Structure 1
Amino acid sequence: MGFEALKKIKANHFAQVYLLLGTEVFLMKEVREAIITHALNEEEHDFNLSFYDMEEQSVDIAIEDAETLPFMGERRVVVISNPFFLTGEKNKSKVEHNMDRFLSYIQAAAPYTILVIQAPYEKLDERKKMVKQLKQEAELIVTKPLEERELKQWMKEKAEQYGAQLTDDAAEELLKVAGVNLSVLSQELSKMAMYIGASEQEISVEIVKKLAAKSMEHSVFELIEKMVQRKIDEALELFYELIRNNEEPIKLHALIANQFRLLYQVKDLSEQGYSQQKVAGLLRVHPYRVKLAAQQAGHYNREELMKMMEELAEADYLMKSGKIDKQLAMEMLLIKLAPL
């Protein structure tokens, strides 16, 4: 993400046009809110802040607003969302957009307006003149899923916003427990900062273990970790705990199968010489998940993982065909998988 651009925004140094591009919508919202917060006083929002959805409204209306002088203030902020016309997508709505007017504005943006273009896409259509001009004139901030280093930096900055310090070990533990969803991580950090209060300034590993809500994915990861370590009794206990929490055996089976499939794919690609970052891109999985999968996959060879997937497929058939009780099928599966 454009951390430097975000620092400029917080220092009240604004571009006239921002292009927020990427699929990490939580980050996109954070950048947008930072622009609004630092560019306008709260009482100005009613007069000088506007939002336009390009799937429902014409870009002409947004540009007309951007060209209008601010009322009782120095700046106006105009936010455009879903600009599908910057991609290769066909127009799914009946709204007509005047691209010539949009292009003219980008080339000579109003000095009193901050135009924010939210493009929640992986990429734009680089063949279009509008896209080329926009990338040349606008401040581009890419909001894609963060790499592990960026993710931990973001977590520490978020903790500081809540008045706390996050240790390196605690950041690692929280990622394992809560996963990589930024919205979830933000909520967890807010909760922990409130818990420790002003007396303690540090969120430690102990605080994370005590307070963080475990994601279903983490529970399954933990279960597989016990299987990797050949601790079948502890793996079964984790399974029974999930059942007591009313989790469906078929759902648990699907998550376990997905994880073992990931282990096989990561191992296969790694043995072909691909880096973890490249593997993450090929599998469309967050790099941190690939890192954890690589650690677990190291305990098996490809033949063992293939055998496990065959056992998983057999259990799936038995459960869905009603040939065996679902919980019993899962118990038998875990017992079979652990010694492999």
Structure 2
Amino acid sequence: MIDMWTRIERKQFSPIYLLYGIESFLINGTKQKLLKNMLTEEELDFNFASYDLEEVPIDVAIEDAETLPFMGERRLIFLHNPFFLTSEKAKSKVEHDISKLEAYLQEPVPYSTIVFVAPYEKLDERKKVTKLLKRTADVLEAKKFSEQEIKAWIRHRAEANQVEILDDAVEMLLTLSGTNLMMLASEIDKLALYSNGCIDKNTVEILASKSLEQNIFSLVDKVMNRKIDEALRIYYDLLKQNEEPIKILSILAGQYRLLYQTKELMRRGYGQQQIATYLKIHPFRIKLAAGQAKMFSEEELNKIMMWIADADYQMKTSGLAKSMIIEMLLFKIHGSK
């Protein structure tokens, strides 16, 4: 992905791009880079087009691509939802001339760039058109990053802001803000403004925002380490931010469920990467959960999950204040350690 973005920034354009996967931040980021680097604002009205292939036949888009650019050097065309690249049944009644597309892919015109935007986790590799497209296009698979990939991306984002980010600051940022790329991008941009050319761990600790999930992770960590005062401080801060108690309880339940699942899978001999794949959770979250899970027995986690279920029932049936129910739950978990 970084290599593709670098080529685009250097104005080394390909005639065909294929952007597929479920990480929308990467796909949207690539689209924005193409728009910014390929066309001026004046050229957008004449040389840019966007089609939804669930509504428009591919023939129309190809004819557009074969039209010479007006008042510029290149045409840029986005083709969204190319469902014919997947094994899914068509939701649309639009008929596509796939043979015409295959012919174009083998001989694209030099003055147009077509970008296939496919928000699908998998493409059907058995189809001739999919094989041909992947062979002729500049391909971005927008999948969830591994821990090393996300750290490389963070450094690249910092460099784009003309600052350096130290290794321990990268670790701290992931711990505090999670692995959502949109949130990380916002945090890095903010940190760059307040740094003096270098983002260090201390800057991240002071300025980085925490996601709700990371706040809950920290809350659990404080309870486990018998720091109930700090855990309650986090909880009260969440209430001041107008987070709903029932939502906090739901994420708290998810965190303890993750600890239980991680502990059980580790007991069966699974590695952290295997657990991440099995649970479809980012490996960095599994790395953090594995550290916390060691502090509990399975019996303790079962007991806590029962207490959380009981708290959920009380929220829905009793007249007690929902915020107080969670507060009592935290004291109960703290007292069990």
Structure-2 residue corresponding to 1:40: 39
Q: Contact 2:155–2:164 at 8 Å: present in 1 too?
A: yes
1:18 match: secondary structure: strand
- 2:268 is matched with which residue: 267, 272, 276? 272
What is aligned with 2:48? 49
Q: How big is each residue's C-alpha offset from its partner over 1:282-332, in whole Å with a ceiling of 9 and x where there is no partner?
A: 111111111111111111122221111111111111221126432332122
Q: Find the aligned partners of 2:194 and 2:248 in 1 and give their Cα distance.
A: 32
Query: Which residue of structure 2 lines up, in the alignment, with residue 330 of structure 1?
Result: 326
Who is 1:69 aligned against? 68
Report the TM-score, using the length of structure 2 for normalisation: 0.93
2:219 aligns with 223
1:165-176 correspondence runs (5 A): 165-176=164-175
1:235 to 205, 221, 231: 231
Residues 249-295 of structure 1: per-residue CA shift (max 9 Å, x gap): 21111110000001111111122222222211111111111111111
Map Cα deviations across residues 90-136 of structure 1 (whole Å, 9 max, x no partner): 22233332222112211221122211111111101222221122122
Q: 1:171 is paired with a residue of what secondary structure?
A: helix
Question: What is the rounded CA distance, in whole Å, between the counterparts of 2:113 and 2:94 in structure 1?
Answer: 24
Q: How far is the alpha carbon of 1:195 from its aligned partner?
A: 2.7
| Structure 1 residues 280-291: aligned runs within 5 Å | 280-291=276-287
1:152 and 2:151 are equivalent in the alignment: yes
Q: What secondary structure does 1:51 align onto?
A: strand
SS of 1:141 mapped into structure 2: strand
Give the whole-Å Cα distance in 1 for the aligned partners of 2:41 and 2:291: 48
Q: Residue type matched to 2:221 in 1?
A: E
Q: In structure 2, how many angstroms separate the alpha carbons of the residues matched to 1:176 and 1:325?
A: 31
1:121 aligns with 2:120: yes
Match of residue 204 from structure 1: 200
Letter in 1 for 2:158: A
Deviations 1:172-200 (A, max 9, x none): 2122222211111111222222233xxx1
Residue in structure 1 matched with residue 180 of structure 2 by the alignment: 181
Report the counterpart of residue 291 of structure 2 in structure 1: 295
> Which amino acid in 1 is paired with 2:96?
H
Secondary structure of the residue aligned to 2:179 is: coil
| C-alpha RMSD of the superposition | 1.8
What is the one-letter code of the residue matched to 2:127?
Answer: K
The runs of 5 or more residues in structure 2 that have no matched partner are none
CA shift in 2, pair 1:317/1:14, >3 Å: same
Alignment partner of 2:115: what SS? strand
* Residue pairs, 1:239-258, within 5 angstroms: 239-258=235-254
Between 253-262 and 237-246, report the one with greater CA deviation. Answer: 237-246
* Deviation digits for residues 58-93 of structure 1 (CA, Å, limit 9, x no counterpart): 221111111112223332221111111211222223
| Identical columns (%) | 47
